[in-house]
Amino acid sequence: MATRCSSFEIQARLGAARTGVLHTPHGAVPTPAFLPVGTTGTVKALTPEDLRVTGTSMVLANAYHLWVRPGHGVVERLGGLHRFMGWDGPILTDSGGFQAWSQREHRKVREDGVRFRHHADGQWRLLTPEVAVEIQEALGVDVAMALDECIEWPADRDRVAESTARTTRWLHRCVAARRRPERTALFGIVQGGVHEDLRQAHAEEIAALDLEGFAIGGLSVGEPTEAMRAMVEASARVLPEDRPRYLMGVGYPSDVVAAVARGVDLFDCVLPTRSARFGQAFTSQGRLTLTHARYREDPEPLDPACACYTCRSFSRAYLRHLCTAGEILGPRLLTLHNVAFYQALMAGLRQAVGGGEGALAALAAEAVRWSAVLPP
Amino acid sequence: MATRCSSFEIQARLGAARTGVLHTPHGAVPTPAFLPVGTTGTVKALTPEDLRVTGTSMVLANAYHLWVRPGHGVVERLGGLHRFMGWDGPILTDSGGFQAWSQREHRKVREDGVRFRHHADGQWRLLTPEVAVEIQEALGVDVAMALDECIEWPADRDRVAESTARTTRWLHRCVAARRRPERTALFGIVQGGVHEDLRQAHAEEIAALDLEGFAIGGLSVGEPTEAMRAMVEASARVLPEDRPRYLMGVGYPSDVVAAVARGVDLFDCVLPTRSARFGQAFTSQGRLTLTHARYREDPEPLDPACACYTCRSFSRAYLRHLCTAGEILGPRLLTLHNVAFYQALMAGLRQAVGGGEGALAALAAEAVRWSAVLPP
């Protein structure tokens, strides 16, 4: 490709793991990086200022949702998604492929694209690969995702093979539809269910295209953890060494560490933000459910090892009170903490890769503890 | 009274209006002051840090709600309400008298106190004047309110007279129940419905007690604006000149200016915070309902005359998007703006009283415009 708006620079390696920097038109992203989920153009409950404080360098939004509401034309006329949401750092958008999977009742996949009915207005819309690229370029994001077909788990082999073939055809249409390659990068998405040979073949197929980066999709849809990790490994080892690898929608701290060890650079997941809204906090002792009665008079911070505003300022007892009383400040303070916790994990990972095998193994063991649910 | 934990210092006067400083164990409150409502120990959606930024110097919480959840004993054992909610400035609590009015279905007023059934647990509890004082002293607030009987409007004269008599009896019991006068001040509450003579008589009756301050209660319960203002005037002119006067639960900017002109020093109202959660912003052009279609592509800040974080950072179009999409960040950013708007109004009032008749009249005229609803 003649013009390339993003570049990826590897800084250190440890086995398959690596640290690096993804350069985008809106700044640099130290990798491995975690992108908080901001589906509709807002990471729920947080301001852009909060995100900076947590150590976030790049956020995720969703092209499909913004297409429906407020409309990509509106966002474009207001100066693009960065200005619209007040975030001047890098943005990556998912195209809507995952929504096609998660909203099974309200979509039909056809060869030309996906017909969707959105909950906001009940209207049917046809999302094609061309429309997916058009929306994301109009939003002016740094990284656009190709439209893919993400399928259910379990799915039989023929169905998986069909979907990878369609995802490849759609990817070619996405590439052909690009009008602003100097501003918006395009990542292709590896599918292939939990079939190692199909994963590998699909990764080889899309790796042949000279794209700015590649994603591993179709995971975290119910398959066992071990299958997920095997698929990450099978995909990552085939993808080009010099391009960023993005594992979509994964996962717990332990999953993130395992994927970094297998060569993944970018992550997004709703866990830290969604758990917060259900009163659950990630801590260095494990996942803490604040509504449990044991925290009723607990004067300790959420995580004594954390230096975020929430942990510096409030007791578990107060946060529990906010959550049980249904107060907005509860989700807000928990989201701030959980995102800060994930960003501290990523900083730890970037350091551990430089620190050698022992450091990464130690972090992996800790991350297993962080991912476990604390007893009531 | 031998020990007095708060003092009030008048700095300037203009007719009945005055500016001053209320000194409390947790700092000084420049008056006229507006107290954002933090019923359950949180001003909905805002952190203590946010409140400082808006120019808030004192907040309101509710003794009755905190009694039920998390319990005043819990709060006391955790070091008091200031530490619990992370707010080190002055706090005033309402006793629960207003809740007795607003939760008519779930309470019975008796001579000994009010029996309440709270929505959180469905249990009946008896709130007596003694319990009201005990709760507020346990919370360790700077200003406690006496338990009063707030009645419906309209109410016949006999019923109003009975309720003022009971409020006086309860006030005497509150005074006798005080155990920590060196830490928590006590304000009595003037009732008397919209009967000028009853108001005045009641104000005289409670003014005879040497309390740290006095409130005007039982207004903003449905009565016409003119009746409300007349009652404020009738009450304020009888209350001691050298004690702060607090108008409970009022109101629109125009009501606040009118009450300051009649000698009121302290205010609280849910309007700026509650309106925000319904997508309504107070602006120097009027009350703006963000969900209106006209703001869909509006690149302007909520209020071009405002310097708050919301107005510095986001367009009306984005804020409208947040509100229509049901995103938490919408109420958060609108609450921040609305509270900042009210605090700017109070700063303007403090200046206008020093600036003479013309300045106060000009502000009164502006406040009428600010209180009006903008057309769709």
Instruction: Please report which confidence band the pLDDT of residue B322 belongs to, taking 50, 70 and 90 as the band edges.
Output: very high
The CA-based diameter of chain A, rounded to the nearest angstrom, is 62
Instruction: Please report which confidence band the pLDDT of residue B62 belongs to, taking 50, 70 and 90 as the band edges.
Output: very high
Instruction: Please report which confidence band the pLDDT of residue B3 belongs to, taking 50, 70 and 90 as the band edges.
Output: low
- Per the structure block, which two tokens stand in for A349? 């990972």
> Counting every residue, how long is chain B?
376
Residue bearing the bigger pLDDT, B118 or B324: B324
Nearest by Cα to B77 from A319, A325, A299: A299
CA–CA dist B373, B376 (Å, integer): 9
CB-nearest partner of B332 from A296, A322, A328 = A328
Amino acid, res. A301:
P
**B41 to A324: CB separation less than 8 angstroms, yes or no:** no
Which of B310, B321, B337 to mutate against chain A (most A CBs within 10 Å)?
B321
pLDDT in tens, A81-119: 999 999 999 999 999 878 877 877 788 999 999 998 888
Q: How many CB atoms lie within 10 A of CB B335?
A: 26
A268 counts as catalytic: yes
Q: Could you identify the residue written with the tokens 């909950």?
A: A119
Q: Rounded to the nearest 5 degrees, what angle is found at the Cα of A181, between the Cα atoms of A179 and A186? A: 105
Q: Is B144 helix (H, G, I), strand (E, B) or coil?
A: strand
CA–CA dist A111, A113 (Å, integer): 6
B314: closest CA of chain A, how far (Å): 6
Which residues, given as ranges, of chain A have pLDDT below 50? 1-2
Q: How many CB atoms lie within 10 A of CB A314?
A: 23
pLDDT at B86: 98
Tell me if chain A has a CB within 8 Å of the CB of B316: no
Would you give the distance in Å from CA B325 to the centre of its chain?
A: 31
Domain range B7-269, CATH architecture: Alpha-Beta Barrel (3.20)
A130: closest CA of chain B, how far (Å): 25
pLDDT, chain A, mean: 96
Domain boundaries, chain A: 33-269, 276-371
**B78 to A322: CB separation less than 8 angstroms, yes or no:** no
Phi-psi domain of B39 (left: phi exceeds 0; alpha: psi -120 through 50; beta: other):
alpha
ipTM score here? 0.97
In this prediction the pTM is 0.97
pLDDT at B1: 45
Which one from A255, A265, A268, A303 is the annotated catalytic residue? A268
A94 counts as catalytic: yes
pLDDT of B211 higher than 50: yes
CB-nearest partner of B42 from A41, A324, A327 = A327
Tell me if chain B has a CB within 8 Å of the CB of A88: no
Locate the chain B residue with the closest alpha carbon to A301. Answer: B84
CA–CA dist B194, B206 (Å, integer): 17
B330: closest CA of chain A, how far (Å): 8
CB-nearest partner of B47 from A48, A329, A331 = A329
CB-nearest partner of A325 from B40, B299, B331 = B40
- DSSP codes of every residue in A44-113: TT--HHHHHHHT---EEEEHHHHHHTT-HHHHHHTT-HHHHHT--S-EEEE-SHHHHHHTGGGEEE-SS-
Instruction: Work out whether strand A17-24 and strand A27-31 pair parallel, antiparallel, or are unpaired.
Output: antiparallel
pLDDT of B2 higher than 60: no
Report whether B257 contacts B17 (CB < 8 A): no
**B315 to A84: CB separation less than 8 angstroms, yes or no:** yes
Amino acid, res. B44:
K
Tell me if chain A has a CB within 8 Å of the CB of B274: no
Report the percentage of chain B scoring pLDDT > 70: 99
CB-nearest partner of A78 from B41, B79, B315 = B315
Which of B329, B336, B337 to mutate against chain A (most A CBs within 10 Å)?
B329
B141: closest CA of chain A, how far (Å): 17
Amino acid, res. A246:
Y
Q: For residue B275, with 0-12 CB atoms within 10 Å meaning exposed, 13-18 middle and 19 or more buried, which class applies?
A: buried
pLDDT at A120: 84
pLDDT in tens, B89-130: 999 999 987 887 787 778 899 999 999 888 888 899 999 999
CA–CA dist B178, B187 (Å, integer): 12
- DSSP codes of every residue in A163-204: HHHHHHHHHHHHHHH-S-TTT-EEEEEE--TT-HHHHHHHHH
Report whether B122 contacts B86 (CB < 8 A): no
CA–CA dist B194, B203 (Å, integer): 13
Task: Give the pLDDT mean for B357-365.
Answer: 96
Rg of the Cα trace of chain A? 20
Locate the chain A residue with the closest alpha carbon to B318. Answer: A84
Would you give the distance in Å from CA A130 to the centre of its chain?
A: 23
Which one from B50, B148, B255, B268 is the annotated catalytic residue? B268
- Bridge-partner residues for B213, per DSSP? B187
Report the percentage of chain B scoring pLDDT > 90: 92
pLDDT at A3: 57
**Residues in CB range of A352: below 8 A, 6 or more apart:** A14, A359, A360, A362, A363
**Residues in CB range of A334: below 8 A, 6 or more apart:** A275, A276, A277, A279, A280, A281, A290, A302, A310, A319, A323
Amino acid, res. B34:
F
Nearest by Cα to A147 from A62, A232, A268, A66: A62
Nearest by Cα to B146 from B194, B93, B218: B93
CA–CA dist A250, A230 (Å, integer): 14
CA–CA dist B42, A293 (Å, integer): 20
Tell me if chain A has a CB within 8 Å of the CB of B291: no
Backbone angles phi, psi at A54, to 5 degrees: -75, -10
**Which strands sit side by side in the sheet containing A143-145, from one edge to the other?**
A33-36, A266-269, A245-247, A213-216, A185-190, A143-145, A91-94, A59-62
CATH of domain A33-269: 3.20.20.105
